[in-house]
Amino acid sequence: MIAMGAHVDQADPIAEANARGARVSQFFLGDPQGWKGPQVAYAGGAAALRADAEAAGVALYVHAPYVLNVASTNNRIRIPSRQHLQKQLTAAAEIGAAGVIVHGGHLGAKEAPEIGYTNWFKAVEGLDIAVPLLIENTAGGTNAMARTLASIERLWAAVSESKNADMVGFCLDTCHAHAGGNELLGLVDRVRAITGRVDLIHANDSRDAFDSGADRHANWGTGHCDPDGVADVLRSADAPVVIETPGGVAEHVRDLTWLAERF
């Protein structure tokens, strides 16, 4: 059975998983909208979290802050983004995380996308990657690095040139794919044809219509994602699943049950 879980508060991700009957917890190591270094809030610190998660059979994933954009042409954004991403990777390794998820980023509407892909190569090339770095597709932006299959292909061509390419994987978000104009049915195969891998599924329904460009998650059965397409993603990916849907334990249990019924 595929391991499933939710994005939760980091104070006790093991208890959060247990409350949801889950085997996976994803969380931020700090403010998702800030630049402060990662901090482990778990009692006993990183070593205790690593040991306790292993004993409980709970896989941990770290989501990098939303503010990071290693593709940016702005030195005041790109350079701190690289530095902070390294800190996230180092902290994730200390807690025994299965991976660090980071958004693909974007450039300004009038900027040449080639610069962004080159910046991605430089970022990956310069990182010390002790746990898999999972690049996530995004929903909006005409100059996003990972919205369309064409942009993902260009991104992968760039990062594949790095000596660290084998440590770079892919996180497929269903809401982002739907809102970004990508049909879910058959999508895993189309992505794998580019990346060679799908390491994690962010299984989120979409509040908004197909190709809206809006990154607004919804609870399962209340949004616009195609249920058949979602089922195909889950079955085809054969990868751990994390929901990032609204609400707490009760809502997440309902969403995880809805998804489990689609396998």
pLDDT of residue 141: 82
Q: How far apart are CA 42 and CA 168, in angstroms?
A: 27
- pTM higher than 0.85: yes
Q: Domain 62-241 adopts which CATH fold?
A: TIM Barrel (3.20.20)
Four-point Cα dihedral 14, 20, 26, 28, nearest 10: -80
Q: How far apart are CA 122 and CA 120, in angstroms?
A: 5
What residues have CB less than 8 Å from 96, skipping those under 6 apart?
49, 50, 53, 54, 60
Give me the amino acid identity at 185: L
pLDDT of residue 120: 98
- CB hemisphere CA count around 195 (13 angstroms): 27
Contact 127, 168 (CB under 8 A): no
| β-pairing verdict for 168-173 and 133-136 | parallel
Q: How far apart are CA 208 and CA 195, in angstroms?
A: 27
Residues in the chain: 263
Q: Which helix (H) or strand (E) holds 123?
A: helix 113-126
Q: How far apart are CA 17 and CA 54, in angstroms?
A: 13
Q: What angle do CA 257, 241, 142 make, to 5 degrees?
A: 115
Rg (CA), the chain: 17
**CA distances, 76 to each of 155, 167, 192 (Å):** 22, 26, 34
Print pLDDT tens along the chain (263 aa). 899 999 999 999 999 999 999 999 999 999 999 999 999 999 999 999 999 999 999 999 999 999 999 999 999 999 999 999 999 999 999 999 999 999 999 999 999 999 999 999 999 999 999 999 999 999 998 899 999 999 999 999 999 999 999 999 999 999 999 999 999 999 999 999 999 999 999 999 999 999 999 999 999 999 999 999 999 999 999 999 999 999 999 999 999 999 999 98
Q: Structure tokens of 212?
A: 């809206």
Give me the amino acid identity at 164: N
Q: Three-class SS of residue 73?
A: coil
> Tokens 């100059």 map to which residue?
143
Which parts of 149-204 are beta strand (E)? 168-173, 200-202
